[in-house]
Structure 1
Amino acid sequence: MTTTSPHAPLRPLGASHARWASGFWGTVQQHTFHTSIEAMWESLSDPAVSPGLRNFQVAAGLEPGQHDGPPFMDGDFYKWLEAAIARLEVAPDPELAARIDELAHLIASVQREDGYLHTPTLISERTASAATGEEAAVALADRFHFETYNLGHLITMGVRHYEVTGSEVLLNTARGAASFLEDLATNKPVELARSAICPSHYMAVLELYRATGEERYLRLSEAFLTVRDDFEEGGDDNQDRIPVREQKVVAGHAVRANYLYAGLADLVAETGDEELTAVLSNLWDDVIDTKLYITGGCGALYDGASPDASPWQQDISRVHQSYGRAFQLPNTTAHNESCANIGMILWSERMLAATGDARYADVIEQIAYNSLLAGISLDGREYFYTNALRQVRDLPYALRRPGDTGQHPVPAPPASDARLRESYLSCFCCPPNTVRTLARFHERAASLSAEGLFVHQYGGSELSVENEDASLSLREDSDYPWSGRLVFTVTAATGALPLHLRIPGWVAGATLIVAGEAHAVSAPGSYTRIERTWAVGDEIILDLPMPVTVLRGNRLAEEVTNQVAIRRGPVVYALESADLPASVLLEQVAIRRGTVFTPVETEIAGTRVIALEAEFAVLPATPDALYGELDDAPLASTSARLVPYFTWGNRGVGEMSVWLPIAW
């Protein structure tokens, strides 16, 4: 979201008004710009590693050959470009600008006259010949070719390219793609509905509407919803079994769900549809209250069925990479695709803009400091596709590899193969999605509304805003999330623009001092309003106490019964076998009630973090048999440390768990 919408009172700030200039997020963003984006380009531009660039070169007739890689590779290439454009906006670079311009013209040159752009089909059209009897591929012949997904990311990237560079090369390409979707909505609605999986195009056409002001794109977004609701061949896996307005719970593929609801939240920001707003609010609550992992992970199940879709077995809808039942949250087999977690950020930030409710910003923070950052290695070069909360040795079955989407399987690894991040995944949707999210994370820092400046996320921002009669510039100095002391200094100001600071839902006992005087603090999970005539040098000091918190799960979350998780501030912690004595196994470690956790500064893979040291109970070894007698020997003890969940897996293969048993 980049511009004003009539029914979204909060307007997110772009790079000209919000920057991560220092602190935690400043470091992450610089690492993203100078390591992740460049390393990913090395992969995408090297045909020995990735067909990302070469597919466009082949489609343009610049190289011989056939399409290679998954059919959604185009969209993943566009996501990388979106990240590169974000870097260009924040840190102008002539060499990068020239590379992006060259790629823009390459992509535009491939587009068909009707606006269609999908390299597998376009390459097939180019290489098919009557002499060989090879027939050209047909657009939308297979819903798992992800054409609308690709077109959606093309449009989003094209709009961002125009906003940052002023060039209309990719904006015109975006217009063409939207025209193709318009034709489908009008003349081939069934084909459009059948192909509308991972619906990035919902968000995309509304970005195009905001950039151009052309009403046709708003009408197109409404047509997408109508086409989906009229579709009679749907299922829970794609959230099209029943009309959206009748949906009470979130089911099916978590990426598809979160993208859909984010796009619909964009729609209500433009239309003010109160009924649809209420539906989205209830669905969001369903996820947060019953289906969200403590790390912010979304989509618990690799595969399954949707048993509530129908009482008849033949009509039960298959589900894939999906939300399960309420409180169905396995740990070792948790799927939590990185794209799904990012999709929840997209959905939540749109709900935040529409409502101003701090709970949406709380969830963005929960995801950002935990499952989002876990999806990328600390050196910024390797990625997770799934984000489990537990890893154990000698797992007697293989978990799906990133390249196996369910439609295009790749060989499974040996059953003992543990999760490790990889620099290049054959299913490459998550890495560029992670990188574009981090590259644009400054857009989640704060918003401006008629009520003033709202600061949502902390971690080293510089903000500068103005309205009709006032302006305010702030610099945040903090060691957040390792310390809860936040110091905002007014660096420029005119008038009395109100300032709203988020008081996180996890905090208790927050204090606030404004220009040397104590100021009342609102309840956790809200914004504290500060209204005064600002002067340069004014300091706003917000202290958020960060005691270590021991958390339990709901009684219905059976996978975590009699276990606890540890959180300090917004950061969830985990135990890795690397931090245990060789004689103690992961499953033996338990937490006693009243355990004191001591924060200690340390480094993991060259990254400074705060770990938690404590004395843990050591349980008797578990039996080799399926069941065995309880050993009543006295419990031993061991010293160990917990590390931030997002840092796990950066020290080689090992075991890990977020949830640990209680030793009563």
Structure 2
Amino acid sequence: MHTTLLTALGLSLAATAAAQHTDYPIQAVSFTKVKLTDSFWLPRLKINTDVTIPASFARCESTNRVKNFEMAAARQGKFATTFPFDDTDIYKTIEGASYSLSVYPDKKLETYVDELIAKVAAAQEPDGYLYTARTIDPAHPHPWAGKERWKKERELSHELYNSGHLYEAAVAHYEATGKKNLLNIALKNADLVCSVFGPGKRSVAPGHEIVEMGLVKLYRATGQLKYLTTAKFFLDARGHYSGYDPKSPDTWKNGSYWQDHKPVVAQTEAEGHAVRAEYLYSAMADVAALTGDKPLLAAVDSIWQNMVAKKFYVTGGTGAVPGGERFGANYELPNTTAYNETCASVADVFWNQRMFQLHGDAKYVDVMEKVLYNGLISGVGLDGKSFFYSNAMQIKNSLGFAQTEPARAGWFECSCCPTNMARLMPALPGYIYAQNGQNVYVNLFVSGKADLLVNKQRVQLTQQNNYPWDGGLKFTVNPASAASFNLLLRIPGWARNEAMPSNLYTFATPSTQAVTLKVNGKTTPYTMRNGYAVVARKWQKNDVVEMTLPMEVRQVVANPLIKDDLGKVALQRGPVMFCAEWQDNDGKTSNLLVPTATAFTATYKPNTLNGIMELTAKVPTVEVDATANSIQTVSKTMTAIPYYAWANRGKGEMTVWFPQRVLDVDIISQPMAEAVTAK
């Protein structure tokens, strides 16, 4: 079963990278080269290891996801879960466990993962096909799957989606452990896929993208061109299906739900199911980088610009519309019904990392940082085992219709989000640094040490900070011997008076505080390049660079075309967006006003919500006296907490956007609800 495949190829990952003539101009520094000491992220990686991953594996067992593989190996039984893509929850958790093992070696976990991989191998059919929803009982496959393999791949079966997550897990497991047991399974399946799909063979636009990203990873791991060629073939297959009605407003019937309405090179807007879309756009970036396909690059650039300028929540969430878990129209960003699937935030991190590697511009990391510190980690509770599938922008008690989830759940029937979080969190070290020749990029401010190779010379780069609560950043550069190279420190857009790299959100008033930079204690001039402070020098052992970012509380205003946010402000400090929650504000948040002149005080609360920066200010608050049938506005202290930390203390009101003043009053006649809301 391909036990000697990689040996025969004689290719290591490093040798493969060297053999590729076209690739991303900028390469990320591997997660295996970065060790964290960070007080914000390291505890999250630890709880992911200690709680999230074990809970995910336990739930895969208790919900029969593992049993599906056991029955597929026996070739008998009845598929025991709901969705044909439930196999991927095991793959994603194995991926997360693999990353975790590189940070926290654990023999017990490693043994369990190997046991699971053996079950996956036993479920694989002799020719490489791996899809428990059919293999268990081929005569009676899952209703979403056709009687034949791949028959319903375009719409429902998710056969290639399962494969894509298998490939991603396999490469992560190989990189982290050096073992090939899962990689060999993935290669056997990929060889089958490549033999079935391609010019003159079967053609389909995969219904749920990710196989394209997975095939690219296999190409990088093995150097086998067929994997890259097939990934590109799947991209090029889009927009050619004659079974759609292009005039139908139904995104399912016109093909836009799964980005199949136009050829990829003709797509210019973020459309359809947000997770599928952002996996597709990540693959477009991959293939554009590896093939030099300029029309493909132009298309993904255009789509990115559309998203950040017209379809992106201030917390970093994407996919506004619950129906179809999809992007809405331009500027369609409602608050009470905001969807913002956690998986979409995971996909957005993947995509923006790739866009940075293509272009070397800090704006892509600015967007990624906004997602990471806000709309992504809101998806998992502080307990590490409760999750949001969707991430609300407002929960309001007086509304008489269903809103986005008001509380996290331990698991879902479709549990893609918990397992996606399990795999992304421990991969974070791989997003901090990047290199291009003598340019070393510092993208994220996360304490720890990185072992780099710059111009064939070893360099250790150490970060020390208390980010995101404090703007004081310290970098110690320690080359093996004196070395000349450029250190590029990202100066975040928010520290340059730019709330977003578009006009979708802006700061209400400009800041007068400046970024300062010192080398070995002396203020040092620097040049700016694409959002980076470039420090070019001959580095000596233990040179110290200090950068200070202004940490003011800023009011953010939205583009007036976002109707829900007219006359409102959001609160930001550093990269962190804040919200008000019922627990701190007398049970309500929908009655709080934040006038332009409001001055907030930021106080670190080490014993609140695992340690947060808390914002307080005196603000006008609308109060109702139901007995007297009257309302009044009184001054009260408002408290705001980081958006990511909401819903860890029970259910209740929450809001991100605050009216600046009362313009009108709606009187609501509804039992057991507040009688008046300000707007």
TM range (shorter): 0.7 to 0.9
Contact 2:517 2:524 in 1 (8 A): yes
SS at match of 2:474: strand
Contact 2:395 2:653 in 1 (8 A): yes
Q: Could you say what secondary structure the match of 2:125 adopts? A: coil
Q: Does 1:504 align with 2:492?
A: yes
For the aligned residue pairs, the C-alpha RMSD in angstroms reads 2.5
Question: 2:621 aligns to what?
Answer: 618
Contact 2:47 / 2:384 at 8 angstroms: preserved in 1?
A: yes
- Partner letter of residue 176 of structure 1? K
Offset, 1:63: 8.5
Q: 1:215 aligns with which of 195, 207, 225?
A: 225
Q: Distance in 2 between matches of 1:604 and 1:349?
A: 33
CA displacement at 1:140 relative to structure 2? 2.9
Match of residue 36, structure 1, among 52, 69, 79: 52
Question: In the alignment, what sits opposite 2:670?
Answer: none
What TM-score, normalized to structure 1? Answer: 0.88
The Cα of 1:163 is off from its aligned counterpart by 2.3
Residue range with higher mean Cα deviation, 462-471 or 430-439:
462-471
Residue of structure 2 in register with 1:560 after alignment: 565
Cα distance, 1:263–1:622 mapped onto 2, change above 3 Å: farther
Q: Is residue 161 from structure 1 mapped to residue 173 from structure 2 by the alignment?
A: yes
Q: In 2, Cα distance between the equivalents of 1:529 and 1:348?
A: 21
Aligned counterpart, 2:378: 374
Q: How many angstroms does 1:230 deviate by?
A: 2.9
Q: C-alpha deviations, 1:253-279, integer Å up to 9, x for none? A: 111110101011010110111221111
| Per-residue deviation, 1:324 | 0.8
Distance 1:136 1:262 in 2: 29
- 1:623/1:7 CA distance change after superposition, 3 Å: farther
Paired AA for residue 328 in structure 1: E
For 1:538, the equivalent position in structure 2 comes to: 543
* Distance of 1:89 and 1:577 partners within structure 2: 40
Q: Is the 8 A contact 1:470 1:497 kept in 2?
A: no
Q: Secondary structure at the match of 1:498?
A: strand
Q: Report matched runs for 1:343-492 at 5 Å.
A: 343-393=347-397, 395-399=399-403, 419-492=406-479
Which digits, 9 at most, give the CA deviation of each residue in 1:173-228, with x for residues without a partner? 111221232233238966632xx122110100010000000111111112112222
Q: Which residue of 2 aligns with 1:411?
A: none
Match of 1:517 among 517, 522, 542: 522
Distance 1:527 1:187, change over 3 A: closer
1:548 to 545, 553, 557: 553
Matched, 1:94 2:104: no
For residues 297 and 532 of structure 1, what CA distance do their matches in structure 2 show?
Answer: 39
1:89: how far off? 1.8
Q: Deviations over 1:236-257 (max 9, x none)?
A: 1111111111112121111111
Q: Is the CA contact (8 Å cut-off) linking 1:573 and 1:643 kept in structure 2?
A: yes
Identity %: 32
2:98 alignment counterpart: 85
* Contact residue 190 and residue 227 of structure 1 kept, 8 A: no
CA displacement, residues 310-358 of structure 1 (integer Å, 9 cap, x when unaligned): xxxxxxxxxx111111111001100111111111111111111111111
Aligned match of 2:590: 587
Give runs of aligned pairs for residues 45-64 of structure 1, distance below 5 A. Answer: 45=61, 47=62, 50-61=63-74
Q: Aligned partners of 2:44, 2:325: CA distance in 1, in Å?
A: 28
**CA separation of 1:525 and 1:369: change in aligned 2, threshold 3 A:** farther
Cα pair distance change 1:170/1:539, threshold 3 Å: same
Q: Distance in 2 between matches of 1:290 and 1:28?
A: 31
Does the C-alpha gap of structure 1 residues 525 and 27 become closer, same or farther in structure 2, counting only changes over 3 Å? Answer: farther
Query: Is this contact kept in 1: 2:57–2:90, CA < 8 A?
Result: no
- Kindly state the Cα deviation for residue 467 of structure 1 after the two structures are TM-superposed: 2.9
Q: Tell me the distance in 1 between the aligned counterparts of 2:288 and 2:213.
A: 11
2:655 corresponds in structure 1 to 657
Give CA deviations for 1:493-542 in whole Å, capped at 9, x if unaligned: 43123211111011041111011221235559611111222223221111
> 1:586 Cα deviation (Å)?
2.2
- Scaled by the length of structure 2, the TM-score of the pair is 0.86
Residue 493 of structure 2 aligns to a residue in which SS? coil
Report the CA distance shift for 1:271/1:137 in structure 2 as closer, same or farther (over 3 A). Answer: same
Gaps of 5+ in 2: 1-12, 245-254, 497-513, 663-679
Cα 1:63–1:44 change in 2 (3 A) is farther
Q: 1:591 touches 1:617 (CA, 8 Å); kept in 2? A: yes
Segments of 4+ moved more than 4 angstroms: 1-5, 62-65, 187-191, 521-525, 603-606, 620-624
Secondary structure of residue in 2 paired with 1:53: helix
> Does the aligned pair in 1 maintain the 2:23–2:290 contact within 8 Å?
yes
- More displaced 10-residue stretch of structure 1: 51-60 or 62-71: 62-71
How far residue 604 of structure 1 moved from its aligned partner, in angstroms, is 6.5
The separation in 2 between residues aligned to 1:256 and 1:473, in whole angstroms, is 38
Specify whether residues 621 and 325 from structure 1 end up closer, same or farther in structure 2 by C-alpha distance, changes over 3 A only. farther
